């Protein structure tokens, strides 16, 4: 009973922290969307969705680990939160749930048969999420643009860098600029695939031990 109680004391707060991380990811998306109101080149992948998706995955990993009593997965989610906290000033708050997840995960008692396999899965999940972030932020492009219409409803047009402004249907351009690090469709697709792989790996491997433990009791029923 004491072991179960200790698991509950650590598992339930870890679930709560995972939900908090999901909420913080949504709030981050709202913040990025508010910041993107400034005139700039339209991105192929909305930054307000692509960046929060990384942190939402961390929260989902924490929930998976807490619900399945897998401390390595919870700790991995905490490590990812700490790594993600250094991305910008807007994400530094993720360091707090990161520390909490590491502390809570270390208190959850794992099944002895799962410890080694979960450590491998946790390391793979961390690698996949980090690789998704690297792909998203590395597979970017530079873009020159101009805006026509009005400042309330601008119409953006991509123009060659270093050239003169291009007149397009819709009137004279009232703004133009150059943006670096523009997110691309390729980077977004790689991010989605890697994040889904991390969540699938964590979720599917957690169900395998329970199914294999039930099978012997059925097969070994004494014949009549």
Contact 61, 105 (CB under 8 A): no
> What does the pLDDT look like over 100-113, one tens digit per residue?
999 999 998 776 66
| pLDDT higher than 80, residue 148 | no
Could you give the CA distance from residue 20 to residue 22 in angstroms, rounded to a whole number?
5
Same domain (yes/no): 15, 76: yes
User: Which residue in 2, 28, 27, 108 sits closest to 62, CA to CA?
Assistant: 108
Task: Please tell me the predicted confidence (pLDDT) of residue 213.
Answer: 45
Mind giving me the DSSP string for 106-134?
A: TTSPPPTTTHHHHHHHHHHHHHHHHHHHH
**31 or 114, which is more confident?**
31
Rounded mean pLDDT, 15-43: 86
Same domain (yes/no): 161, 107: no
Sheet holding 175-183, edge to edge: 154-159, 140-149, 175-183
Phi, psi of 174 (to 5 degrees): -105, -5
Structure tokens at 223: 């014949």
219 located within any domain: no
Rounded mean pLDDT, 175-188: 82
pLDDT, mean over the chain: 82
Same domain (yes/no): 64, 15: yes
156 located within any domain: yes
User: Which residue in 150, 142, 147 sits closest to 173, CA to CA?
Assistant: 147
123 located within any domain: yes
Same domain (yes/no): 67, 115: yes
Same domain (yes/no): 48, 103: yes
pTM above 0.85, yes or no: no
**186 or 114, which is more confident?**
186
**For residue 81, what is the enclosing H or E element?**
helix 71-84
Could you give the CA distance from residue 153 to residue 76 in angstroms, rounded to a whole number?
44
30 located within any domain: yes
Task: Please tell me the predicted confidence (pLDDT) of residue 50.
Answer: 95
195 is in which domain, residue-wise? 2-139+185-205
Number of compact structural domains in the chain: 2
Q: What is the pLDDT confidence band of residue 212, given thresholds at 50, 70 and 90?
A: very low
Q: What is the pLDDT confidence band of residue 41, given thresholds at 50, 70 and 90?
A: low
49 located within any domain: yes
Helix (H, G, I), strand (E, B) or coil at 164: coil
Rounded mean pLDDT, 152-161: 73
Same domain (yes/no): 23, 126: yes
Same domain (yes/no): 174, 101: no
Same domain (yes/no): 131, 60: yes
24 located within any domain: yes
Rounded mean pLDDT, 215-224: 46
**Is beta strand 154-159 parallel, antiparallel or unpaired with respect to 175-183?**
unpaired
Contact 205, 121 (CB under 8 A): yes
Please give the torsion angle defined by the CA atoms of residues 159, 163, 169 and 172, in that order, rounded to the nearest 10 degrees: 120
Helix (H, G, I), strand (E, B) or coil at 135: helix
Same domain (yes/no): 130, 152: no
| pLDDT higher than 90, residue 157 | no
> What does the pLDDT look like over 117-136, one tens digit per residue?
899 999 999 999 999 999 99
Q: Which of 50-59, 90-99, 156-165, 197-206 has the lowest mean pLDDT?
A: 156-165
User: Which residue in 75, 82, 42 sits closest to 184, CA to CA?
Assistant: 42
Task: Please tell me the predicted confidence (pLDDT) of residue 113.
Answer: 61
Same domain (yes/no): 120, 151: no
Same domain (yes/no): 69, 20: yes
Same domain (yes/no): 17, 90: yes
Task: Please tell me the predicted confidence (pLDDT) of residue 179.
Answer: 74
61 located within any domain: yes
Q: What is the pLDDT confidence band of residue 210, given thresholds at 50, 70 and 90?
A: very low
């Amino acid at each position: 009973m004491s072991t179960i109680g200790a698991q509950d004391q650590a598992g339930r707060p870890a679930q709560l922290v995972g939900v908090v991380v999901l909420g913080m990811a949504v709030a981050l998306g709202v913040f990025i969307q508010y910041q993107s109101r400034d005139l700039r080149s339209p991105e192929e992948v909305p930054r307000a969705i692509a960046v929060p998706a990384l942190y939402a995955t961390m929260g989902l990993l924490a929930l998976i680990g807490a619900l399945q009593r897998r401390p390595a997965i919870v700790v991995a989610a905490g490590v990812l939160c700490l790594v993600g906290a250094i991305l910008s000033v807007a994400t530094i708050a993720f360091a707090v749930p990161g520390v909490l997840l590491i502390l809570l995960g270390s208190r959850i008692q794992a099944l002895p048969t799962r410890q080694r396999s979960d450590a491998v899965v946790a390391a793979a999940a961390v690698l996949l999420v980090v690789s998704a972030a690297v792909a998203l932020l590395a597979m970017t492009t530079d873009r020159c643009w101009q805006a026509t219409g009005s400042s309330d409803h601008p119409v953006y047009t991509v123009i060659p860098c270093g050239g003169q402004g291009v007149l397009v249907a819709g009137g004279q351009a009232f703004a133009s600029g150059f943006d670096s690090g523009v997110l691309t469709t390729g980077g977004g697709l790689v991010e989605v695939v890697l994040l889904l792989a991390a969540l699938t790996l964590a979720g599917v491997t957690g169900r395998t031990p329970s199914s294999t433990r039930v099978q012997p009791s059925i097969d070994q029923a004494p014949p009549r």
